[in-house]
């Protein structure tokens, strides 16, 4: 597929901006006017990298489209089937049997439970002075994940991983502005010199929230360095993606952000969309509809703009961006394929491309490995054929098929579909009986075993996808009369272990990088104090720091200037590998005084409760810092009352 930009030559492209002149102050004194020669050279370098990446990525689109059709369970009806539905909408036609979709749901359910545990990211201090700061860091990022709904974006990224083989996420620092209420007291004096105080509420405009967020990138719009594998994103020379925005939103951003420029030049472009952002996905074409991303499907009332965003590791002196002769990471945004609207050095303290890729099927070599849904696609096709051929045969057998002698019977009477019809014989057949006038053909269902064969196919799909029936909430329907407890637990434990391996890979590939970037971005970009709820595994330590009755803690940016280690989850889920032996051990420990004194019974109980699915065990723990009720003898009560240490409840 050729990639053509409107106005292929530089002269034609820049000519549409020559009549426009806006007074922009470009960063670092660079000449980034769309009419300048420097702008054209810089644009060409960005554009060439985008084309090189797109040529390689486009080879995977056809296979991904097949996955999209399977997961949307839609097959375009043939001409014959359209006639069938037209005559009787209740008759079944060809479908995609949604078994791959069921496998995908089971995989996503496990991963969301594994990575969606509260908190999503855990941190601990490196040195003694870092302990409290790391605890607060965990609570602050926990608040960010809740406020910015990080789990929703993570769900999309994990789905992309299983559907396309790659799930791409970008951690960003989000700021929100609005009006917040501020209480104030006003004093007034009346005619009798009596002073009164009245509370007033004023609304002040300012920063209402700042924190980490996570965005997903459509794999169809991803532009990675084609020379590196999917698990080696940080080793590439560049990485980019295409994002869709609109002209009005970009103008608003330009007015508030000095790092954005040249947006007003886009007014000269009638079509502000990118030739690389064509409609390649089949996701939105289910049930015969057209994709909203289709260039011809855009509504005329909107003014969309496609932006090619790209991080490039470059030598500034060779690119004319500075004097440094050593590689630096820079960020560029090319809007409408023509105009550079952002150009700045990437100043993230972690020094990485701010993105991560989940690729659980990676082989260490491929940029876009084969996904788990693609692996199942062949078996899914066989399953669809078995089911649809059986339905077609049943539909055919329900229609009566006759051999008729048209010389002896009135064919129009025979065609009448209404019940209780009267079929008249023609004159030559009068008086000879009706035995040999019409004969029905015998119908043999050669597809009657297709449904049984489909069960065999689904078993192999379960085995390949590692999602057996117990993981999808059902039990086997064949075999012995009763499913034994040992068989169920053993099968489920094996399936959970295999899914845990996938989760561990995703944890190292994606969650570890995102957790590191969340922490670094918090230290780098946090500007105002925030309040966090003291809860979770650090509740006792934090209450010892802030007070036994403290339920919330005030956190300032300086409190988070600590060294920390990110604790990567092992991919297990609560109760996934739990054994009832723990309950038996707990009962043994409680019943043996020597064991009771040697083991922490409370922690063992909390572990068992969490593995059984309890999420709020901490809420039921007794706070040891609070004053506990004490029992006293009668004589001691009298002495304490005489000393004034205790009083009757009625006198309080």
3-state secondary structure string, 140-170? Answer: HHHHHHHHCCHHHHHHHHHHHHHHHCCEEEE
For residue 649, give the H/E element and its range.
none
Residue, of 145 and 608, whose pLDDT is higher: 145
Asked whether 163 and 71 are in contact (CB, 8 A), the reply is yes
For residue 18, name the pLDDT band (cuts at 50, 70, 90): confident
* Residue 295 pLDDT exceeds 50: no
* Residue 577 pLDDT exceeds 60: no
Count Cα neighbours of 290 within 13 Å in the Cβ-side half-sphere. Answer: 10
Distances (CA, A) of 628 to 116, 421, 576, 625, 645: 36, 91, 37, 9, 16
Residue, of 443 and 73, whose pLDDT is higher: 73
CA 14 and chain centroid, separation: 40
Distance CA 297, CA 364 (A): 39
Count Cα neighbours of 178 within 13 Å in the Cβ-side half-sphere. Answer: 7
Predicted confidence at residue 416, as pLDDT, reads 67
Distance CA 168, CA 346 (A): 19
**The three-state (H, E, C) secondary structure of 60-102, written as one string:** HHHHHHHHHHHHCCCCCCCHHHHHHHHHCCCCCCCCCCCHHHH
DSSP for 468-516, please give it: -TTTTT---SSSSSS--HHHHHHHHHHHHHHHHHHHHHHIIIIIHHHHH
* Residue 274 pLDDT exceeds 80: yes
Among 221, 280, 209, 213, residue whose Cα is nearest residue 245: 221
Among 344, 173, 315, residue whose Cα is nearest residue 237: 315
Angle of CA points 282, 284, 288, to nearest 5°: 85
Distances (CA, A) of 76 to 72, 81, 82, 370: 12, 9, 9, 26
Q: Taking residues 189-194, what's their average pLDDT? A: 74
Q: Which of 505-509, 547-551, 643-647: highest mean pLDDT?
A: 505-509
Please state, rounded to an integer, the average pLDDT across all residues of the chain: 81
For residue 392, name the pLDDT band (cuts at 50, 70, 90): confident
Tokens of 450: 């297709």
Q: Taking residues 278-303, what's their average pLDDT? A: 56
Distance CA 94, CA 390 (A): 10
What backbone torsions phi and psi does residue 238 show, to the nearest 5 degrees? Answer: -155, 165
Residue, of 441 and 155, whose pLDDT is higher: 155
End-to-end CA distance of the chain: 86
Q: pLDDT tens across 510-548, in order?
A: 999 999 999 999 999 999 999 998 877 777 778 777 777
Q: Which residues contact 204 (CB under 8 A, 6 or more apart)?
A: 179, 180, 182
Tokens 């593995």 locate to 611
Tokens 């944890």 locate to 507
Predicted confidence at residue 598, as pLDDT, reads 84
Asked whether 160 and 357 are in contact (CB, 8 A), the reply is no
pTM score, whole prediction: 0.79
Predicted confidence at residue 442, as pLDDT, reads 64
Other C-beta atoms lying within 10 Å of the C-beta of residue 180: 12
Predicted confidence at residue 186, as pLDDT, reads 79
Buried b (16+ CB within 10 A) or exposed e, 509-547: bbbbbbbbbbbbbbbebbeeebebebbeebbeebbeeee
Q: Which of 11-25, 111-125, 172-186, 208-222 has the lowest mean pLDDT?
A: 11-25
Predicted confidence at residue 86, as pLDDT, reads 75
Look at residue 519 and give its three-state secondary structure.
helix
Predicted confidence at residue 112, as pLDDT, reads 92
Among 70, 121, 245, residue whose Cα is nearest residue 564: 121
Distance CA 520, CA 511 (A): 14
Predicted confidence at residue 526, as pLDDT, reads 94
Residue, of 228 and 384, whose pLDDT is higher: 228
DSSP for 437-460, please give it: TEEEPP---TTTTHHHHHHHHHHH
Q: Taking residues 492-516, what's their average pLDDT? A: 85
Question: What does the DSSP 8-state code read for residue 265?
Answer: G
Q: Taking residues 181-196, what's their average pLDDT? A: 78
Predicted confidence at residue 12, as pLDDT, reads 59
Distance CA 476, CA 416 (A): 48
For residue 19, name the pLDDT band (cuts at 50, 70, 90): confident
Predicted confidence at residue 9, as pLDDT, reads 61
Q: Is the peptide bond before 297 cis (omega within 30 degrees of 0)?
A: no
Question: What does the DSSP 8-state code read for residue 289?
Answer: P
Among 436, 431, 434, residue whose Cα is nearest residue 422: 434
Tokens 């030739």 locate to 275
What backbone torsions phi and psi does residue 600 show, to the nearest 5 degrees? Answer: -80, 95
Predicted confidence at residue 11, as pLDDT, reads 63
What backbone torsions phi and psi does residue 308 show, to the nearest 5 degrees? Answer: -90, 110
Residue, of 255 and 483, whose pLDDT is higher: 255
Predicted confidence at residue 511, as pLDDT, reads 94
* Residue 115 pLDDT exceeds 80: yes
Q: pLDDT tens across 463-493, in order?
A: 777 676 655 555 555 555 555 555 445 455 5
For residue 54, name the pLDDT band (cuts at 50, 70, 90): very high
* Residue 297 pLDDT exceeds 50: no
Residue, of 252 and 279, whose pLDDT is higher: 252
* Residue 641 pLDDT exceeds 90: no
Predicted confidence at residue 7, as pLDDT, reads 42
């Amino acid at each position: 597929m050729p990639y053509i930009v409107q106005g292929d030559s530089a002269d034609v492209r820049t000519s549409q901006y020559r009549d426009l002149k806006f007074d922009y102050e470009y960063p670092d004194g660079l000449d980034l006017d769309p009419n300048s020669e420097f702008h054209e050279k810089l644009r060409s370098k960005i554009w060439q990298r985008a084309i090189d990446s797109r040529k390689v990525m486009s080879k995977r689109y056809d296979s991904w489209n097949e996955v999209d059709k399977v997961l949307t369970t839609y097959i375009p009806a043939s001409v014959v089937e359209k006639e069938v539905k037209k005559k009787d909408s209740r008759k079944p036609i060809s479908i995609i049997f949604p078994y791959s979709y069921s496998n995908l749901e089971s995989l996503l359910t496990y991963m969301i439970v594994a990575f969606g545990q509260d908190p999503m990211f855990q941190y601990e201090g490196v040195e003694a002075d870092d302990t409290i700061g790391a605890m607060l860091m965990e609570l602050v990022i926990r608040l960010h994940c809740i406020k910015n709904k990080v789990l929703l974006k993570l769900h999309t990224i994990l789905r992309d991983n299983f559907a396309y083989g790659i799930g791409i996420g970008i951690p960003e620092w989000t700021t929100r502005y609005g009006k917040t209420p501020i209480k104030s007291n006003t004093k007034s004096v009346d005619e009798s010199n009596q002073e009164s105080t009245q509370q007033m509420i004023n609304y002040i405009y300012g920063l209402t929230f700042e924190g980490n967020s996570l965005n997903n990138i459509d794999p169809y719009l991803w532009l990675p360095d084609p020379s590196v594998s999917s698990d080696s994103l940080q080793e590439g020379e560049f990485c980019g993606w295409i994002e869709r925005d609109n002209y009005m939103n970009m103008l608003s951003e330009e007015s508030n952000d000095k790092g954005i420029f040249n947006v007003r030049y886009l007014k000269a472009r009638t079509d502000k969309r990118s030739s690389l952002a064509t409609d390649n996905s089949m996701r939105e074409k289910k049930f015969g509809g057209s994709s909203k991303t289709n260039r011809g499907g855009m509504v005329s009332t909107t003014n969309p703009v496609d932006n090619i965003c790209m991080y490039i590791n470059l030598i500034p002196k060779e690119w004319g961006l500075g004097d440094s002769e050593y590689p630096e990471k820079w960020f560029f945004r090319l809007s409408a394929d023509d105009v550079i609207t952002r150009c700045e050095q990437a100043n993230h303290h972690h020094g990485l491309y701010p993105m991560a890729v989940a690729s659980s099927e990676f082989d260490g070599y491929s940029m876009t490995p084969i996904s788990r849904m693609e692996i199942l696609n062949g078996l899914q096709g066989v399953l669809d054929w078995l089911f649809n051929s059986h339905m077609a045969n049943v539909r055919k057998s329900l229609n009566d098929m006759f051999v008729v002698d048209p010389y002896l019977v009135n064919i129009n009477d025979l065609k009448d579909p209404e019940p209780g019809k009267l079929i008249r014989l023609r004159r030559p057949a009068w008086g000879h009986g009706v035995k040999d006038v019409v004969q029905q053909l015998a119908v043999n269902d050669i597809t009657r075993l297709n449904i049984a064969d489909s069960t065999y196919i689904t078993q192999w799909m379960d085995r390949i996808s590692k999602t057996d029936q117990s993981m999808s909430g059902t039990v086997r329907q064949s075999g012995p009369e009763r499913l034994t407890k040992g068989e169920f637990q053993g099968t489920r434990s094996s399936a959970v272990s295999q899914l845990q391996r996938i989760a561990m890979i995703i944890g190292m590939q994606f969650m570890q990088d995102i957790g590191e970037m969340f922490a670094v971005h918090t230290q780098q970009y946090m500007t105002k104090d925030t309040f966090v709820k003291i809860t979770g595994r650090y509740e006792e330590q934090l209450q010892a720091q802030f007070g036994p009755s403290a339920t919330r803690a005030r956190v300032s940016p300086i409190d988070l200037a600590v060294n920390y280690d990110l604790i990567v989850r092992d991919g297990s889920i609560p109760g996934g590998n739990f054994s009832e032996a723990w309950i038996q051990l707990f009962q043994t420990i409680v019943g043996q005084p020597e064991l009771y004194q040697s083991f922490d019974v409370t922690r063992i109980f909390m572990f068992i409760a969490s593995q059984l699915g309890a999420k709020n065990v901490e809420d039921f723990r007794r706070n040891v810092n609070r004053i506990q009720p004490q029992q006293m003898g009668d004589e001691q009560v009298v002495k304490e009352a005489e000393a004034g240490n205790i009083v009757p409840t009625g006198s309080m």
